[in-house]
Amino acid sequence: MKIVIVTETFLPSTDGVVTRLKEAITYIHKQGHEVVVIAPDLGVKEFDGAIVEGIKPTKLPVYSSKYFSLPSKKVEALLKKHSPDIVHVVNPALVGVSGVYYANKLGLPLLASYHTHVPKYLDFYNLYPFKPLFWWYFKKLHSYAHVNVCTSHAILKELQQKRFHNLEVWKRGVAIDHFHPERKSEQMRSRLSNGNVDDKLLVFVGRLAPEKEIHKIKPLLEQRDDISLAIIGDGPIREQLEKQFEGTKTIFTGNLHGEELAEAFATGDAMIFPSITETLGLVILEAMASGLPVIAAHSGPTQEQVVDGETGLLFENENTESMIDAVQKLEDPDLLQSLSENARNEAEKYGWDKPSEQILELYRKTISISK
């Protein structure tokens, strides 16, 4: 089988979508299939044997920290050049529009995957009135796909209510050998806590953007002088957050990768996750695999991964006292150990092979439906 993946984001970008695609491509190649990636041209020409075809990138005023590619006729030429058995468009929005349009024009089987809850993001960019338009736009794009996938049952239900068709949940996964409690490092703890190694160390991992609602953590630090916070990641509001958290026990590391990221996960006492806009939140499973309990705001996708009091602790969104109460529970060493062990045990059920095998089956299903 020859697969062309058209995606709005790929290497060297770091996010859950890219992680999932990398794992899928590696698995698909091991099964003897061929993959070509069409993505914004950020200098990467190949990944694990997959050719990466670049489309000229640009920056958008509303999100200037990241490069995107606009719709391009070049996508048609690339689809003709590679003549795939199936096209997978990831998060169709910009260049993905070309993937959808030309796959249909050329009569190619099309699977589309929904990873980023853009309509929900509009609440954080003063664009709330445009929500109906955005829902119409994404529903229209996905209507051309023979099969649509999303990453959680909560989002599946929401998309079904919006009348998206032929929906499946693409299972979650995590690199269970890479993210592991044994990666714990005293040197990393000193770095992340700015030398305050006896503090409770909370870590946040993710894109520094308004929809992540990182500002909600600050009142906790103002009430507790024995907590250090490490904010791991980068994004459009990093400078704003650095000013906002000035005077608190917070450090900003920027993006961490590979061994450093695995050590950071394993070294904290808990990961704090205030966002309710995720379609899944892959970092939750990475934290759990590292034996790191997750303290997260209630949301559908989060509750699919975190069982309150067993693998992590949930708090009510926009409720500072609820968040503070959840963190307070970490003072119980027996509970902390239990949460850590249970989180790791749960994560071990979700290696990347199953979701990668599943997407191959969904490709076959798409080809069959399209005939």
- pLDDT at position 371, please? 86
Percent of the chain, pLDDT > 90? 93
Per-residue confidence band for 352, with pLDDT thresholds at 50, 70 and 90: very high
- pLDDT at position 147, please? 98
- pLDDT at position 127, please? 84
- For the cut 90, the answer to whether the pLDDT of residue 318 exceeds it is no
- For the cut 90, the answer to whether the pLDDT of residue 23 exceeds it is yes
Percent of the chain, pLDDT > 70? 100
What's the rounded mean pLDDT across residues 307-331? 94
Cα(282)–Cα(14) distance, integer angstroms:
12
Residue of 104, 110, 115 lying closest to 151 (CA atoms): 115
Instruction: Tell me the one-letter amino acid at 116.
Output: T
Tokens standing for residue 21: 């695609």
Cα(189)–Cα(266) distance, integer angstroms:
9
- pLDDT at position 128, please? 82
Least confident interval from 40-44, 62-66, 261-265, 348-352? 62-66
Same domain, 332 and 356: no
Task: State the chain's mean pLDDT as an integer.
Answer: 96
List the CATH number of the domain containing 79. 3.40.50.2000
Same domain, 95 and 223: no
Q: pTM (2 decimals)?
A: 0.95
- pLDDT at position 7, please? 98
Query: Phi and psi dihedrals of 167, rounded to 5?
Result: -95, 145
Q: Which residues contact 304 (CB under 8 A, 6 or more apart)?
A: 152, 153, 154, 280
Same domain, 274 and 190: yes
Same domain, 305 and 362: no
Same domain, 213 and 68: no
Same domain, 297 and 359: no
Which residues pair with residue 38 across a beta bridge? 6, 53
Cα(216)–Cα(220) distance, integer angstroms:
8
Same domain, 27 and 141: yes
Cα(113)–Cα(95) distance, integer angstroms:
14
Same domain, 114 and 153: yes
- pLDDT at position 66, please? 87
What's the rounded mean pLDDT across residues 17-24? 97
Residue of 188, 183, 240 lying closest to 215 (CA atoms): 240
- For the cut 80, the answer to whether the pLDDT of residue 161 exceeds it is yes
Question: Does residue 170 contact residue 151 with C-beta atoms inside 8 Å?
Answer: yes
Question: Does residue 68 contact residue 90 with C-beta atoms inside 8 Å?
Answer: no
Same domain, 26 and 59: yes
Same domain, 135 and 253: no
Which residues pair with residue 46 across a beta bridge? 51
Number of other residues whose CB lies within 10 A of the CB of residue 77: 12
- Better-predicted residue by pLDDT, 107 or 63: 107
Question: Does residue 39 contact residue 69 with C-beta atoms inside 8 Å?
Answer: yes
Q: Give per-residue pLDDT as tens, 72-104.
A: 999 999 999 999 999 999 999 999 999 999 999
- pLDDT at position 265, please? 98
Whether the bond between 12 and the residue before it is cis, its omega within 30 degrees of 0, is yes
In the chain, the number of structural domains is 2
Same domain, 62 and 90: yes
Same domain, 15 and 163: yes
Number of other residues whose CB lies within 10 A of the CB of residue 276: 20
- For the cut 80, the answer to whether the pLDDT of residue 65 exceeds it is no
- pLDDT at position 120, please? 87
Domain encompassing residue 335 = 181-347
- For the cut 80, the answer to whether the pLDDT of residue 64 exceeds it is no
Q: Which residues contact 22 (CB under 8 A, 6 or more apart)?
A: 11, 47, 48
Per-residue confidence band for 334, with pLDDT thresholds at 50, 70 and 90: very high
Q: Give per-residue pLDDT as tens, 188-200.
A: 999 999 999 999 9
Per-residue confidence band for 39, with pLDDT thresholds at 50, 70 and 90: very high
- pLDDT at position 228, please? 98
Per-residue confidence band for 273, with pLDDT thresholds at 50, 70 and 90: very high
